[in-house]
Amino acid sequence: MSDETVDARGLSCPEPVLLSKAAIERIGRGTVDVLVDTVTSRENVARMARTLSCMVEEKEADDGSYVLSITKE
């Protein structure tokens, strides 16, 4: 169960990264689920999360979009 969900599907670079980063900083500690629909967004969000020392779990949803579960301890 995530503490916050960010729906970044359909948004232009760099909005998925900015929204995800803001959510991670907002919750301080916990899990943020980020929804994106391009591989580029998935890579960019994951890279940003890892630079913030977060754990990232990537899953593909049924509709072809991606869910990144980002956990900050």
Partner 1 sequence: MRLTRFLASRQGMIVAGGAIGAMAAALQLCGNPPNMGLCMVCFPRDIAGAIGLHRAPVVQYLRPEIMAVVFGSLIAAVAAREFRPRAGSAPIVRFLLGVFAVIGALVFLGCPWRALLRLAGGDWNSLVGIGGLVVGVGLGCVFLKRGYSLGRNHPMPWIAGCLFPAVMALFLGLLLLKTSFKEGQAIFFSQQGPGAMHASVWISLGLGLLIGMLAQRTRFCTMGALRDVLLIRDFHLLSGVVALVIAVAVVNVLAVVLSHLTSETPLTIKIGWQAMPISHANHVWNFLGMVLAGLCFALAGGCPGRQFFLTGEGDGDAAVFCCGMFVGAGITHNWFLAAAPDKMVDGVLQLGGPGGYGRIAVAVGIVFCIILGLTARPRKTA
Binding site residues, partner 1, CB under 8 A: 9-15, 17-18, 21, 37-40, 43-44, 47-48, 51, 64
- Strands in 4-7's sheet, in edge-to-edge order, are 4-7, 30-36, 66-72, 55-60
Q: How many CB atoms lie within 10 A of CB 20?
A: 28
- Name residue, tokens 């670079």: 13
Closest approach, Cβ 23 to partner 1, in A, equals 14
Q: Quote the least distance from Cβ 59 to partner 1, whole Å.
A: 16
Q: How far is the CB of 56 from partner 1 (least distance, A)?
A: 14
